[in-house]
Amino acid sequence: MSDARILDRGYRRFEGTRSGVIGAMRSVAWHTARSILGLGRTARHKVFPIIVMVIAFVPAIAFVAISVLLKGFGDELRPDYWEFFQYSFVATIVFVALVAPEAIVRDRRDGMFALYLSTPLSRLTYVVAKVVAVLSTMALVVLGPPVLWFLGYTFQSQGPDGLLGWLGVAARLLVAGLVICAVYTAVSLGVASMTSRRAFASIAVVFVVVGGAIVTDLLVNVAERSESWRVLDPLGLALEVAPRLFGDRSDDFRAVGTWQVALGCLGWAGSGVGLLTLSFRGRAAV
C-alpha cells in the first residue's frame, strides 16, 4: 500500500515583505554583477574576469611594492595621480569588449528578458538595473587600481599633504573614474544591445571603440584635420577627463578644449544610453 497522500492546501497569500520595483531592480543588478564576475558559474565564465582583474591590479601592486621596498628611491618612478588610469587601460578595454556585453546578451539568448517583464520590472527599470550592474563592476577595474595605489602611497606617508589635500585628490580620482565608467558602460551596452550573440556583440564593441580611436588618429595625423576631431575617440576622450581634473592635459588632447572634452563625453554617454533604451523599447517580450 502506498504512503502517498493528496493534501488540499489551497492558495495562500504571500505573507513576506514586498519590495516592489526597487527590490526587483536591486535583485537584477546584484545577480547581473555576480554573473559578469563569473560568481556561481562554471570555471570557463571566470576566465575573462580573472584575467581582467590581474591585468588591472598588477601595476598598482607593483608601484606600491616599489614604494614600500625602495622608500624614497621609488619617488622618481612615481606617476602623476591621473596617469594611473592609463595603466589599467588594457584591462578596461578587455572588460568593455568581452565581459560587459554579457550583462544583456545572455538574457536575450536564454529568453530571460520575457521572464523579467513578468515581474514588477518594466523595460526602462530593467535597463537601469543592467546599467547599474555593469557600472559598479566596471568600477572595480577602473577605480580599484588607482584607489589601491593612492591608499598605498598614503600609508607610506607619500600622499597629498593635509586632510583637505587628500580629500581633494580622492574626490578628483572618484569623479574621473565614474566618468570613465559611465562613458564606457553606455557605449558597451548600447552597441551590445543590437545583437543576441556574445561574439557579435564583442566584435561590434571593439569595432566602435577601437575603430573610433584609429579613425580619429588617421583624420588628425594623416588627413591633417582639426584636433577637435579627437572627440570621436571614445577611449581617449573618457581618459582625458582625469588629467583635466588635475589641471593637466595628455599629449594627444593638448589642443582640445576642456569644454569639448566634456561635451564629447556627454555625447558618447547619451548616444549609448539612447541606443540601449530604443533597442529595448521596441523589443517584444516574447
pLDDT of residue 7: 59
Cα angle: 185, vertex 252, 218; to 5 degrees: 85
Has residue 176 got a pLDDT over 90? yes
**Mean pLDDT for the chain?**
83
CA distance 29 to 211: 30
Q: Is the pLDDT of residue 284 over 60?
A: no
Average pLDDT over residues 172-176: 93
- Percentage with pLDDT > 90 across the chain: 17
pLDDT at 2: 61
- pLDDT tens-digit map of 62-71: 888 877 777 6
Averaged pLDDT for residues 122-130: 87
- The pLDDT tens digits for 248-275 are 888 888 888 899 999 999 999 999 988 8
pLDDT of residue 269: 92
- Tens of pLDDT, residues 5-20: 665 566 666 666 666 7
What is the reported pLDDT for 180? Answer: 93
Residue pLDDT, tens place only, 214-249: 888 888 888 888 888 888 888 889 999 999 998 888
Tell me, what's the pLDDT at 226? 85
pLDDT, position 18: 67
Radius of gyration of the chain measured on its C-alpha atoms: 23
196-214: pLDDT as tens digits: 787 888 888 888 888 888 8
pLDDT recorded at residue 276: 87
- Say what the pLDDT of residue 223 is: 83
pLDDT, residue 79, reads 75
Asked whether residue 1 carries a pLDDT value surpassing 60, the answer given is no
According to the model, what pLDDT value does residue 12 have? 65
Which of 43-47, 58-62, 183-187 has the largest mean confidence?
A: 183-187
Percent of the chain with pLDDT strictly greater than 70: 88
103 and 130 Cβ atoms separated by less than 8 Å: yes
pLDDT tens-digit profile of 66-117? 777 776 555 566 677 888 888 888 888 888 888 888 888 887 777 777 777 7
